[in-house]
Amino acid sequence: MTTTTGAARAPDVTAYELCLAGHLDDHWSAVLGDLTLTRRTDGTTTLSGPVSGQAQLHGILNRIRDLGTTLLSLRILDTPAAGMPYATSAAERWR
């Protein structure tokens, strides 16, 4: 019997930016996938960074829900940010 395995697939890593209502403390970065946490003067918090696939994204969204804070926006970053050379653009993802 011969078993054939496919080529190893690179992880589906995409850079995201999530905007939340209110200010989160720094310790929430580790809880929310080690994303970069930025508190804005308008009273919102922005989380940004690489997310390895839909499962990790859903986990982050579930934790945000459990915090009871409001998710204001979620977007894919079209250009790789510093430290995220493996991020893909939205256009590349849908080819």
Give the pLDDT confidence of 65-93 residue by residue, as tens digits. Answer: 999 999 999 999 975 554 555 444 444 44
Please indicate, yes or no, if residue 95 is contained in any of the structural domains: no
Q: Quick one: pLDDT band at residue 17, thresholds 50, 70, 90?
A: very high
Average pLDDT, stretch 54-64?
95
65 located within any domain: no
Q: Which own/partner contact pairs does 67-72 have at CB distance under 8 Å and 24+ positions apart? A: 67/24, 67/28, 69/20, 69/21, 69/22, 69/24, 70/20, 70/21, 70/22, 71/18, 71/19, 71/20, 72/19, 72/20, 72/21, 72/44
Longest dimension (CA), the chain: 64
Count of the separate structural domains present in the chain? 1
Range of the domain at 28: 12-45+70-85
Q: 34's torsion region: left (phi>0), alpha (psi -120 to 50) or beta?
A: left
Is this model's pTM higher than 0.75 or not?
no
Which pLDDT value is given to residue 89? 47
What is the C-alpha separation between 39 and 25, in angstroms, rounded?
A: 9
pLDDT of residue 38: 96
Residue 39 lies in a domain: yes
Mean pLDDT, to the nearest integer, of 13-41? 93
